[in-house]
Every structure is written in C-alpha cells, then in structure tokens.
Structure 1
C-alpha cells in the first residue's frame, strides 16, 4: 500500500503531466487557427488560378490540357500526407486504410504505383498495414512557414515521376470534420477532370470586362496548371495539418479529463489515508495518556 509520501509524489507527477497536456492543447488550438487562416489565403489564390484557366479555356480548346495532364493506363503516382509526430489518435491509421481501400477499388496494384509519403508516422502506419516501401519519404512541415519548401519538394518529385512516364497523379490527406475530428479524402491531381473543366469553362465571369489570353495559349495553360497543382497540394497539406491539430486537441482534451479524474482519485485516497493516520495517532495519544494517568494501587483500592 502506498504511503502518504508516495501518494504526494503521484499527485505532483499527475499535476505536471496535466500542465504539459494543457500546453499541448493551447499549441494545437493556435495551430488550427493559423492553418485555417493560411488555407483561406490559399483558396483565394486557387480561385485566381481557376479564373486564369477559365480565360485560357475560352481562348483555346480543352484538348490543350491533355499533354500536360497525361492519360492512359501507365504508372500512377500517389501522394500520402500524414503526420510527423504522434499523439493524434488514429489520424494516420485511418488515412492509410482509406488510401489502400481506394487504390484497391481502382485496381491500382503495387507494381503500378509510385508512392510519396509525407510524415514518418504515416510511413510507419503504411508499413504496419502491409503497404510497400515508399519511393520517397518527405518530412512533414513543422510550421506554416516551412510549408512552401515541403510543397516545392513534393512538386519537384512529381515532375520527375511524370518525366519518367507516370501517367496519373493522386493525393490522399485528412481534412477537418467527421465524427472523429477528421475525415480522409482523395484528390485527383492529374489528368485534369474533364467534367470540372467543362464546369469551369461555363462559369459566369464576375464582371462585364472579359480578359484575353496574352501569348501562346499552350504555354499559358501549362503555367496555370503548374500553379493549380501547387495550390491543390499546398491546400491539401494545410488541411492535413489543421486536421492533425484538431485530432491532437481532441486527444489532449480526453487526456486532460482522464488525468483530472486520476488526480481527484489520488487526492481522495490521500485525504482518507491522512485521516486514518491522524486517527491512529490520536488513539495512541489517548491510550498513552490513560495509561500514564493510572496510579499504582488504584485497582486494589477500587476492588476493596
């Protein structure tokens, strides 16, 4: 049985752990807000790129996108965006399970795909699920400022794959929402979805002044597609990071409740044991006092 000193140390350790959990909660809450603000800015940038593509589509046929987008049944490049650190529940496990199910349903076997994983925790979950070793592992960005470098590294790798004959590019990541705080989604990078292009070309221009495409339509289109890929990958990383912080916040809230319950339990046990010790000491004092108060011969006098 623990002594009062042992229980006191347990309470101190639990309170220190509770302080760490509260700090991590604050970091996650701030991280969510920062990544949501960055995502909003990236959506504005993506909208500008889409407007440029809308102008290019009016200047030339949508077929100009086919060489840039690729096609056919060749190799498929897959990007999986996970986390670099843990303490975020089943964030990576659910993402890996979703990606494997989608790839299996699409008939994309191991020999037909090249895998790029962002985040060492996601790589570990992928390997634990029986997935093949990735062709490339990219460290997940730790801050919003490091996102641009990570996205550029991913795009450079995708360019190398496309130059090597990879026909299609897809991306899997988590986004905020769902019963568990995040939900996995699939993003089609290349080839460009023809239905989306059709809707984009039919979209109403926001003003009465229609812009014109300056320069060769093909060159302008290729540049816009490059920016479209950048914006989509950047947005996916931002959404993934926000979802990771959301899951970590949920996990830390559960941990804080659990630690709080444990501290209450320890304090009650400490108080009960302390009361027992005090009671035992009082009984010893009373017993000692009564023994010392007895006089020699009192018992015989009382018997007479």
Structure 2
C-alpha cells in the first residue's frame, strides 16, 4: 500500500503532467488558428492564379497539352503523403497511411509503379512499417513561416520526377479537419489537371466588364501559371494537414486532461483518507497512553524525606 509520501509524489507528478497537457492544448489551439489564417491567405492567392489561368485558356484554341492527362495511362505515379513530424496526435499518421495504401491498391498502383514522397518523420515511420521505403522524406514545417521553403523543396522533387523519371501523374494524400476523430484523410490529384475543371474555368464569367489579355507567348504563361497552381495546391494541402494535426492533438490532449483530472481526484481522495487514518491512529495512541497512565496504582510521584 502506498504511503502518504508516495501518494504525495504521485499527486505532484500528475499535476505536472496536467500542466504539460494544458500547455499542449494552448499550442494546438493557436496552431489551428494560425494555419487557418494561412489557408485563407493562400485561398486569395489561388483565386488570383485561377483568374490568370482563365485568361491564358481563353487565348488558346484549346486546353494546353501540358495539363492534359496521358492518353495511354502509362508512366510512373508520384505519390505525396503529408503526415506529422511529432506525435501526441492519436492515429493521425497510421490512418492516413492505411487510407493511401488502400486507394493505391484499389487503383492497381503497386510499389513498382510509384515514387513516394513522405512529409513528416512520424508519417515516414508509419509508411515504412506498412509498405516499401519512400523515395524521399521531407521534414514537416515547424511554423507557418517555414511552409514556403518546404513547398519549394517538394515541388523541386516533383518537377524532377516529371521531367527525368517518367512520372506522368501526381497524387497527394493528406488529412483535413473534420470527422469523429478531429481529422479525415482525403485524396487529391495534383497532375494532370482535370480537363473538366479547365473547361469550366475557361467559361467562367469574368468579374468585371474589362476583359484582360495575355501578354507574351501564351504557352509560356500557361506553364508558369500551372507551376503557381501546383505551388498553391501543395501549400494549401500542407496547411490543411497541419491544422488537422493540431485539431487531433487538441482532441487527444482534452481526453488526456480528463483522464489526468479523474486520476488526480482519486489520488487526492485516497491521500485525504489515508491522512485521516494516520491522524486517527495517532490520536488513539495518545488517548490509549493517557488512559493507561491513569489506571496505574499508587502515587508515581517521589516521596518527601
């Protein structure tokens, strides 16, 4: 049975854990807001890029071959998996990897056809436990300010795959906020760009009565805009994944806080009961000693000479 000193140490450790959990909750809440703000800003940038694409598409007789899918479906598949760099977020990475492998298997894309780029050390470990080692691993950005550098490194790798390694299709798997566990995995096709979406974009109503024109060679402008579109989409995917990671970590920390709170209540009640028992035992010893002293025969005081 634990002593009062043991229970005191347990209460102290649990209180420190509760403080850490509350700090993690605050960090996750701030992280969600900052990444949501970054997503809104990138949404405005993406809207501008789409307007530029609309202008370039109207200047072309038809959609540029650069963004149309391969007719024979041949070539390798580039796969981007966006996970987390640190833990304490439940099964965030395991669910994402399982979802990605299920979708790839359903599409008949085996390890021999795909090039995998994993973002996040924890996601990399989860992927290697379930499948082949990825071709490339990129650390997840620790802050919003580091996002642009991470996206640049990812796009450099994807450009290399498209230009030199025979990759004709780019798929992305990420988590988004929502669902019973705080996040839900989704699949996004980065390349080729959906021709139906391009056709809709080309016919979209322009927001003003002044119609813009494309300066310079239209194909070159088209390629540049497609690169910016990929940048915006990868940036948004990483931001959404980071917000979902913080949301799941917040959910996990809330559950941990409730568990620690219940354990603290139990420890404090046990500590109070044990302390009361110790006090009661000491009082009984004092009373028993006093009663025993009163029952002794004769006068215990020394006699006077």
8 Å CA contact 1:21, 1:252 repeated in 2: yes
Q: Following TM superposition, by how much is the alpha carbon of 1:67 offset from its aligned partner in structure 2, in angstroms? A: 2.8
Structure 1: gaps spanning 5 or more residues = 299-304
Shifted more, 67-76 versus 287-296: the winner is 67-76
Task: Say whether residues 1:18 and 2:18 are aligned partners.
Answer: yes
- Aligned pairs for 1:7-156 (under 5 A) are 7-64=7-64, 66-68=65-67, 71=70, 72-129=73-130, 131-156=131-156
Q: Following TM superposition, by how much is the alpha carbon of 1:61 offset from its aligned partner in structure 2, in angstroms? A: 3.2
Aligned residue in 2 for 1:194:
195
Separation in 2, partners of 1:159, 1:69: 16
8 Å CA contact 1:181, 1:247 repeated in 2: yes
8 Å CA contact 1:56, 1:217 repeated in 2: yes
Deviations 1:97-130 (A, max 9, x none): 110111111111111000000001001111222x
TM-score normalised to the size of structure 1?
Answer: 0.95
Q: Which secondary structure state, in structure 1, belongs to the residue aligned with residue 112 of structure 2? A: helix
Separation in 2, partners of 1:283, 1:40: 70
Q: Following TM superposition, by how much is the alpha carbon of 1:62 offset from its aligned partner in structure 2, in angstroms? A: 3.6
TM-score normalised to the size of structure 2?
Answer: 0.95
Aligned residue in 2 for 1:302:
none
Deviations 1:245-304 (A, max 9, x none): 000000000000000000000000000001111111111111000001113169xxxxxx
Q: Which secondary structure state, in structure 1, belongs to the residue aligned with residue 95 of structure 2? A: helix
Between the two proteins, the alignment pairs up a number of residues equal to: 296
Separation in 1, partners of 2:127, 2:240: 20
8 Å CA contact 1:74, 1:167 repeated in 2: yes
Deviations 1:76-109 (A, max 9, x none): 0000000000000110011111101111111111
Structure 2: gaps spanning 5 or more residues = 300-305
Separation in 2, partners of 1:118, 1:250: 22
Task: Say whether residues 1:232 and 2:233 are aligned partners.
Answer: yes
Q: Which secondary structure state, in structure 1, belongs to the residue aligned with residue 171 of structure 2? A: strand
Q: Following TM superposition, by how much is the alpha carbon of 1:63 offset from its aligned partner in structure 2, in angstroms? A: 3.3
Which stretches of structure 1, 4 residues or longer, exceed 3 Å deviation after superposition? none
Separation in 2, partners of 1:195, 1:69: 10
**The structure with more helix, counted as a fraction of residues:** 1
Deviations 1:152-209 (A, max 9, x none): 0000000110112111111110011111110111111111101111111121111111
61 and 189 in structure 1: CA distance in 2 versus 1, 3 angstrom threshold: farther
